[in-house]
Structure 1
Amino acid sequence: MDERTVVVTGGTHGIGRAVARAFAAEAWTVVVGARDAAELEETVADLVSETDGTVTGLRADVRDEFDCERLMETTSRAGPKSGIDVVVACAGVYHGDAGETPIDDESYSRFDDHWRTNARGVFATITEALPHLSDGARVLVPTSSVARDGKSGYGSYAVSKAGAEAVVRGFAVDTDFVVGCLDPGQVATDLTGGEGRDPASVAELFVWAATECDPDALDGEVVGLADWKRATRDETNDGIDREEATGGIDG
């Protein structure tokens, strides 16, 4: 059994679930956080059955800093040693259909919840994890090219992802931990309406970033599929180029 512990927010769907499964398959202690208790229970049971790993779940809404605090405190005691080795902040929302939510048609309520979940939620997740991080711990935050490139129709979702990237850069320069963004390109999740690559095909990017990626290349930066391909020369990623790897939204 690996003695390392990872916590994955938004771990019942899409990228989060695939990432939790990938770490469980590597014999890490995995703690999954999510808002829906029933989905959380089902996910944990499935992951344990599929990987025979040590997986537990805790209901947590990243919009609530007290939920985040409780999640991190619980995670720090979940493994064979105290502390958290990796945080993967996958919790996120997209209100509307991907690419069809122009900002000039955005409601205040959607803007606020995008920001509260996707940007402030990342801030709360990292803030509450800090007291529990082990030496050499890493924090990984999925991102999207819409955070950096002007693309029509992504409205306040794009604003919130840009905010999340700024949060990551802030923690990278103001703390001694490695905090970075991962851009998996467009992935088939609820956020993308099922369009994009299989979440399982990008999950290993997160495991690699957590364990092997050069910390200087990750800290405060955006690492994509093309970077992973170059670093690992994994033949299963043949045909992925940088343009493809940074398209669409994460989920």
Structure 2
Amino acid sequence: MADSKIILVTGATAGFGKAIAETFAAKGWDVIITGRRQERLKELAQKLTGGYGVRVLPLHFDVRDKVAVNEQLGQLPDNWREIDVLVNNAGLALGRDLFDQASMDDWEAMIDTNIKGLLYVSRAVLPYFEKRGEGHIINIGSTAAKDVYPMGNVYCATKSAVEAISKAQRIDLLSKKIKVTAIHPGAAATEFSLVRFKGDQAESDKVYKGYQALEATDIADITYYVATLPKHVCINDLVVTCTAQANAFFTHKEG
């Protein structure tokens, strides 16, 4: 559709990002999807175009690579520059260790992805928003931004940074009529914990045992709601948990 809206979703090959891309495509939005796993990007692009008849632009790069981000997003084809919504979803947790035992490589990967990647992508997309005089940045944070928990150290710090950056963006971009929303999900049954525990399925499964966690589609539906409010309405900061979870620290598990 010539008049359809455009959303750009980073980290779209799994979890929240994939669900968000699918939800918006189902509503008729054209979608720019980015990710590190090229084969998954291709599969998702084919699914979205075949299933919903929308345009899809898959871009293969790592948000940690500033040069690649600028090359890919700074030179979008003319017919893809009218971006309405940017979802900074790319992010990860690695390890769950005491501060003095944690891997510095894990720390750097989280800082480079969760903070620097978000900054690189935001700056690359902002000129398109500024030219149009409108736009919406949606940053996917975490309840870890609100409460530091044992062995969460640097992951919690990176998500606290996402919250602070979102506040700063909202202030600095106010005169440009650019909305900024931070969505902070709690426990969600995605690949998140499997990545955190580096492929240990048994440890990953323990995280979600004894209660019903959020699903990726829950966050996708909420993202769609936030993105489609009237122009004069902006949800600034939204914390979302399953019913069994009070915050990043307290979860009621049965059995």
Relative to the length of structure 1, the TM-score reads: 0.81
Q: Quickly say closer, same or farther: Cα 1:214–1:101, change in 2 above 3 A.
A: farther
Specify whether residues 105 and 222 from structure 1 end up closer, same or farther in structure 2 by C-alpha distance, changes over 3 A only: farther
Distance 1:102 1:216 in 2: 42
Secondary structure of the structure 1 residue equivalent to 2:149: coil
RMSD: 2.4
Distance 1:53 1:59 in 2: 19
Partner of 2:61: 60
Q: Which of 104, 108, 112 is equivalent to 2:108?
A: 112
Q: Deviations over 1:199-244 (max 9, x none)?
A: 11221111111111786653xx321348xxxxxxxxxxxxx65x84
With over 3 angstroms needed to count, the CA separation of the structure-2 counterparts of 1:136 and 1:198, relative to structure 1, is same
> Is this contact kept in 2: 1:144–1:246, CA < 8 A?
no
Q: Confirm or deny that 1:223 pairs with 2:234.
A: no
Could you list the per-position Cα deviations for residues 64-113 of structure 1 after superposition, in whole angstroms to 9, with x for gaps in the alignment? 1222223334556344xx421100011112212xxx33333222211111
| 8 Å contact kept, 1:122–1:167 | no
Work out whether 1:145 is the aligned partner of 2:143. yes
CA distance in 2, matches of 1:8, 1:245: 28
What letter is aligned with 2:92?
Answer: V
Alignment of 1:45-84 (within 5 A): 45-73=46-74, 75=76, 77-79=78-80, 82-84=81-83
C-alpha separation between the residues in 2 aligned to 1:101 and 1:47?
39
**Number of residue pairs aligned between Structure 1 and Structure 2:** 227
CA contact (8 A) 1:9 1:33 kept: yes
1:47 partner amino acid: L
Counterpart residue number, 1:210? 227
CA distance in 2, matches of 1:129, 1:6: 11
Task: Tell whether 2:121 aligns with 1:87.
Answer: no
Confirm or deny: 8 A CA contact 1:75 1:83 kept in the other structure.
no
Consecutive unaligned residues of structure 2, counting only runs of 5 or more, are 195-203, 250-255
Deviations 1:157-201 (A, max 9, x none): 111111122222221111132112012322112112364322112
% of aligned pairs identical? 25
Q: Distance in 1 between matches of 2:153 and 2:232?
A: 32
Conservation of the 8 A alpha-carbon contact between 2:180 and 2:234: no
Structure 2 CA distance for partners of 1:180 and 1:87, relative to 1, 3 Å = same
What is the CA–CA distance in structure 2 between the aligned matches of 1:74 and 1:3, rounded to whole Å? 21
1:162 corresponds to:
160
Q: Which amino acid aligns with 2:14?
A: H
Q: Which amino acid aligns with 1:223?
A: L
Query: What CA distance in whole angstroms lies between the structure 1 residues aligned with 2:148 and 2:239?
Result: 18
Q: What SS is found at the alignment partner of 1:84? A: coil
Corresponding residue of 1:198: 215
Structure 1: gaps spanning 5 or more residues: 227-239
The equivalent position to 1:123 in structure 2, one of 112, 119, 123, is 119
State TM-score, norm by structure 2.
0.80
The AA in structure 2 aligned to 1:32 is: I
Matched residue type, 2:216:
P
State how far apart, in whole Å, the 1-side matches of 2:192 and 2:247 are. 16
- Find the aligned partners of 2:77 and 2:170 in 1 and give their Cα distance: 21
Structure 1 residues 90-101: aligned runs within 5 Å: 90-96=89-95, 100-101=96-97
Cα distance in 2, alignment partners of residues 245 and 29 from structure 1? 36
1:50 aligned partner, one-letter code:
G
Residue in structure 1 matched with residue 14 of structure 2 by the alignment: 13
Which consecutive segments of 4 or more residues in structure 1 shift more than 4 A?
213-217, 245-248
Q: In the alignment, residue 197 of structure 1 is paired with which amino acid?
A: L
